[in-house]
Amino acid sequence: MGLQGVKAVFFDLDNTLVDTAAAGRRAIEKVINVLQSKHQYDEEEACAICDKVQAKLLKECRDPAKICITDLRISHWEEAIQETMGGMANRNLAAECYFLWKTTRLQHLTLAEDTRGMLIELRKVVHLLLLTNGDKQTQREKIEACACQPYFDAIVVGGEQEEEKPAPSIFHHCCGLLGVQPGECVMVGDSLDTDIQGGLNAGLKATVWVHKSVTLPKNTSPVPHYIISSVLDLPALLQKIDRKGNSDSETDKMASFNKVHDSSTIVAEKC
């Protein structure tokens, strides 16, 4: 595969290259089992605690100068246990739950063999960069756990930069690391708000939304240039993007759905 107009591809990590959501579910299941078997919580109590923690993670906001991620997340578990069970705070149990959850999640974060193969082949013709938002300690631990470093020319963690996705600055920083222009780059990710909006904000050549659901949502906003159901469909799509050049880069409406080679993946083109 040879590409002329695309010189670099930026990949998101979580739920794009690795199934973080599935790993998280396995970790929660492990904590629920331990709460029941070791600490004699019933299933309803254990599930309620874990549900509360997951809600806290979704709303998590932290000043790194004031509290480390470990202390914050132990506090999530401590608060969830107290909110569910009442009584005195149990920091020791909270720490046990947190480290069990964290360790189990990392153990199940894997870069699949077919994904590794795709990255190896892509890197022969374009620069590859991993661009992930999040706390620097947490994201670096994930990167190490799935051993993805050898497949990229550069890795950029949002928590180590002044701004994260979707700010244009972090995308332009990535371009600078690789010595390419925004109009030569493609952003691939599962988040409309960060990956796709960020790629649009930065003026990248194309944005590719990895949307695994069979049903496409109506009135998608922001509008990605392309939609694929698996990251493995990217090489064929890149060939298509390269051939199209910039002829349709000024329009804003998603207008047609086309097959990519012989794949059953539907690609929504912004045209």
> Tens of pLDDT along 19-35?
999 999 999 999 999 99
pLDDT at 260 over 80: no
Instruction: Tell me the pTM.
Output: 0.87
Would you state the pLDDT for residue 259? 33
Name the band, by pLDDT with cuts 50, 70 and 90, for residue 1. low
Class (C level, CATH) for 8-18+110-270: alpha beta
Would you state the pLDDT for residue 264? 35
The answer to whether 224 and 204 have CB atoms below 8 angstroms apart is: no
> Tens of pLDDT along 143-173?
999 999 999 999 999 999 999 999 999 999 9
Q: How far apart are CA 79 and CA 224, in angstroms?
A: 39
| Domain regions of the chain by residue span | 8-18+110-270, 21-107
Would you state the pLDDT for residue 215? 76
Name the band, by pLDDT with cuts 50, 70 and 90, for residue 213. confident
Name the band, by pLDDT with cuts 50, 70 and 90, for residue 2. low
pLDDT at 246 over 50: no
Would you state the pLDDT for residue 84? 97
Would you state the pLDDT for residue 267? 42
| CA-to-CA separations, 35 to 60, 77, 79, 133, 246, in angstroms, rounded | 23, 12, 15, 31, 56
In this prediction, residues 132-138 reach a mean pLDDT of 96
| CA-to-CA separations, 177 to 155, 174, 182, 266, in angstroms, rounded | 10, 5, 12, 32
pLDDT at 53 over 50: yes
> Tens of pLDDT along 115-128?
999 999 999 999 99
Q: How far apart are CA 237 and CA 253, in angstroms?
A: 19
Element (H, E) at 10: strand 8-11
Would you state the pLDDT for residue 263? 36
pLDDT at 266 over 50: no
Q: How far apart are CA 189 and CA 204, in angstroms?
A: 13
Q: How far apart are CA 147 and CA 150, in angstroms?
A: 7
6 vs 220, more confident? 6
Name the band, by pLDDT with cuts 50, 70 and 90, for residue 61. confident
Would you state the pLDDT for residue 249? 43
> Tens of pLDDT along 68-85?
999 999 999 999 999 999
Fold of 21-107: Four Helix Bundle (Hemerythrin (Met), subunit A) (1.20.120)
